[in-house]
A and B are shown apart, each in its own frame.
Chain A
Amino acid sequence: DADVTQTPRNRITKTGKRIMLECSQTKGHDRMYWYRQDPGLGLRLIYYSFDVKDINKGEISDGYSVSRQAQAKFSLSLESAIPNQTALYFCATSRGQGEFFGPGTRLTVL
């Protein structure tokens, strides 16, 4: 079944470590997104990509970077993790009629 997958599902790391969250999809969608969700702050867009050669910053891109390795793969990196990056991270895909979310990665930075 066409799907959006994220790895890892849970990760605990220490301040200063480099972390990569990976997203892959079998939906054939061109558009991919990374969000973080914090209690009381809702979903906030970190980066988005409309195709392999297109990368755009969202509202909270500082401290993050992304790589679109292929149409189906979109990775999010935290170059030097800090505690306030502790959150639930979602990848999403779209063909323009709403976004479809992966299961999420719960990241804890100690």
Chain B
Amino acid sequence: QKEVEQNSGPLSVPEGAIASLNCTYSDRGSQSFFWYRQYSGKSPELIMFIYSNGDKEDGRFTAQLNKASQYVSLLIRDSQPSDSATYLCAVAGGTSYGKLTFGQGTILTVHP
């Protein structure tokens, strides 16, 4: 089992819809959870982080964390074509103190 798994893509949504990106992790000691956006040929950009169970909202983005289920998700409301990118889930803590373990990424395409 991979340490961090993301829902297989690519994911395609129409403009204005909600995009839902999911991630599960295997290390129960994990404490910090991050979402990165990566445009093709560019470096990953940190867009959200969450430490506590529940929801965290930042503009059109909402991160959700459920430590009991070892599940973290990212919702993008009112999706725009500019949101088209690869989204990377990353986890820290537990056996990975001080470093991130990344998922493989989910490619999101928002079509007009």
* Contact between A45 and B99, CB atoms less than 8 A apart: yes
- Which of the listed residues A33, A41, A43 has the most CB atoms from chain B within 10 Å of its own CB? A43
| A42-B103 contact, Cβ under 8 Å, with A98-B46, A103-B43 | yes
Q: Quote the shortest CB–CB distance from A38 to chain B (angstroms).
A: 11
- Are A98 and B49 within 8 A (Cβ)? yes
Most chain B CB neighbours (cut-off 10 Å) among A48, A58, A97, A98: A98
Q: Chain B contact residues (Cβ within 8 angstroms of A): what range?
A: 10 to 19
B contact residues around A99 at 8 Å (CB): 46, 90, 100
Interface residues in B39-84 (C-beta closer than 8 Å to A)? 42-46, 49
Task: Find out whether the CB atom of B88 lies under 8 angstroms from the CB atom of A43.
Answer: yes
Give the residue of B34, B42, B104 whose beta carbon is less than 8 angstroms from that of A42: B104
Are A48 and B46 CB-contacts (below 8 A) given A42-B105, A98-B34?
Answer: no
Which residues 40-61 of A sit at the B interface, judged by CB distance below 8 A?
40-43, 45, 48, 50, 58
Query: Is there an interface contact between A102 and B43, defined as CB atoms closer than 8 Å?
Result: yes
**Interface residues, chain A, CB within 8 Å of chain B?**
31, 33, 40-43, 45, 48, 50, 58, 90, 94, 96-104
Residues of B within 8 A of A (CB): 32, 34, 42-46, 49, 88, 90, 98-100, 102-105
